[in-house]
Amino acid sequence: MKIVDVKTHVMGTAWRNLTFVRVITDEGLEGVGEVRMLNHTDALLGYLAEAVPNHVLGHDPRHIEDLVQRMYRNDYARAGEIAMSAIATIEIACWDIVGKALGRPVYELLGGPVRERIKAYANGWYTVERTPEEFHRAARRVVEYGYRALKLDPFGSGFYELEPAEKRKAVALVEAVRDAVGPDVELLIEMHGRFNPATAVEMARELAPFRPSWIEEPVPPENLAALKKVAEQVTIPVATGERLHTRYDFRPLFELQAADIIQPDITHCGGILEIRKLAAWAECYYLLVAPHNVGGPVSTAAALHLAAVIPNFKIQEHFNDLNEEWVKQAAPGNPAVVDGYFSLPKGPGLGVTLDEAFVAAHPRQRIFFNLFAENWHLRQAVQPPLPGSGASSAEQPPSPTAS
């Protein structure tokens, strides 16, 4: 079996461009991968335009490790977010192909499941006015939908420090959410790398009475010694990792023992097998794994197959129930969240099928999603056309194809 073509399809939403990548073989089988690039979609497509003919075409999709190594090593340049995301889309699609060829779900090819259900948490649910009353109502809807865990960033557009009024507001928002969901629902606090260590520690202590299960990325990701400084001064578990893109990025995190939970994103970190390896390494440090997932249904499917087989898995992030639920129609097939859990995926491969017509009906948008802008939490990031471009914000330029 040989790969003969790779096609990309970009679907636009109010704050995301989701890139689906189809890997097509000479035997008629094809697989699909996906990634949400944060403001870097063109960079991904440009990389694939060069990498596909150099590394992918003519390769046996069943030889996944060899293909990933070729893409990672043979360009010589150090792989970062762009390269590791592109590698991940191809790698995930190859697992989909292998599963379909064998008639088995991907998780059975990775050692088999170690759990029958996969715990989930909701994100993106608080696209409301930033008041305790509105957050309280929105949090109630999360629980009524069936989730038993949810995450929020209550800190507005804060960076490094917060004004005293903003500190009080953040605490009031978290207090309202805890009151809405009760004592038994997990509450996860996202900090988006906003703070210096002193502010991160202060806010963690202020929020401790509401018993959050973690604080996420309390400081920017570049300085892991600063993260360790935070971890040593707080009693809440520390989670991080969505902006680390290779196993080599995670090495100092492990050695410093600067976090309790790692959050690699399968679609930014080389794919399913790479995170499988990373999780096994993390287990040596008694770390839990909670994969980051801000993508659509294919990204979610890949995450569920991985979660099924990782002994030290904690919980899976999911946006597409309480934020842009229509996105799930792009690739139907994932199980629903029931009483806080996904069931194991069904069907061969990833178990989802890309609907190309649906994707085409939602063309790429001109997106700038800025987490440090006012009211970013409303997730309305479509930008007007560039002056003189003559194009609408919804026009989609041609995507690279290896035909």
Catalytic option among 292, 305, 362, 377: 292
Catalytic option among 192, 245, 305, 318: 192
Look at residue 387 in the predicted model and tell me its pLDDT. 85
Nearest 5°: the CA angle 79, 85, 87 is: 75
Q: How many CB atoms lie within 10 A of CB 71?
A: 24
Whats the size of the chain, residue-wise? 403
Tens-binned pLDDT, residue by residue, of the chain (403 aa): 999 999 999 999 999 999 999 999 999 999 999 999 999 999 999 999 999 999 999 999 999 999 999 999 999 999 999 999 999 999 999 999 999 999 999 999 999 999 999 999 999 999 999 999 999 999 999 999 999 999 999 999 999 999 999 999 999 999 999 999 999 999 999 999 999 999 999 999 999 999 999 999 999 999 999 999 999 999 999 999 999 999 999 999 999 999 999 999 999 999 999 999 999 999 999 999 999 999 999 999 999 999 999 999 999 999 999 999 999 999 999 999 999 999 999 989 999 999 999 999 999 999 999 999 999 999 999 999 888 766 555 644 444 554 3
User: Among 304, 292, 315, which residue's Cα sits nearest to residue 346?
Assistant: 304
Q: Look at phi and psi of residue 8 and say left if phi exceeds 0, alpha if psi is from -120 to 50, else beta.
A: beta
Class of domain 107-350: alpha beta
Look at residue 392 in the predicted model and tell me its pLDDT. 56
Whether the predicted model's global pTM rises above the 0.85 cut: yes
CA 303 to CA 317: how far, in whole Å? 9
Can you give the chain as a three-state secondary structure string? CCEEEEEEEEEECCCCEEEEEEEEECCCCEEEEEEECCCCHHHHHHHHHHHHHHHHCCCCCCCHHHHHHHHHHCCCCCCCHHHHHHHHHHHHHHHHHHHHHHCCEHHHHHCCCCCCEEEEEECCCCCCCCCHHHHHHHHHHHHHHCCCEEEECCCCCCEEECCHHHHHHHHHHHHHHHHHHCCCCEEEEECCCCECHHHHHHHHHHHHHHCCCEEECCCCCCCHHHHHHHHCCCCCCEEECCCCCCHHHHHHHHHHCCCCEECCECCCCCCHHHHHHHHHHHHCCCCEECCECCCCHHHHHHHHHHHHHCCCECCEEECCCCCCHHHHHHCCCCCCEECCEEECCCCCECCCCCCHHHHHCCCCCCECCCCCCCCHHHCCCECCCCCCCCCCCCCCCCCCECC
245 tagged catalytic? no
CATH number for the region 3-105 comes to 3.30.390.10
User: Does 107-350 match 3-105 at the fold level?
Assistant: no
- The residues that bridge with 105 in the sheet, in sequence order, are 349
As a whole number of Å, the CA-based R_g of the chain is: 21
Look at residue 398 in the predicted model and tell me its pLDDT. 42
Look at residue 238 in the predicted model and tell me its pLDDT. 98
CA 171 to CA 167: how far, in whole Å? 6
192 tagged catalytic? yes
Q: Which sequence spans correspond to the domains of the chain?
A: 3-105, 107-350
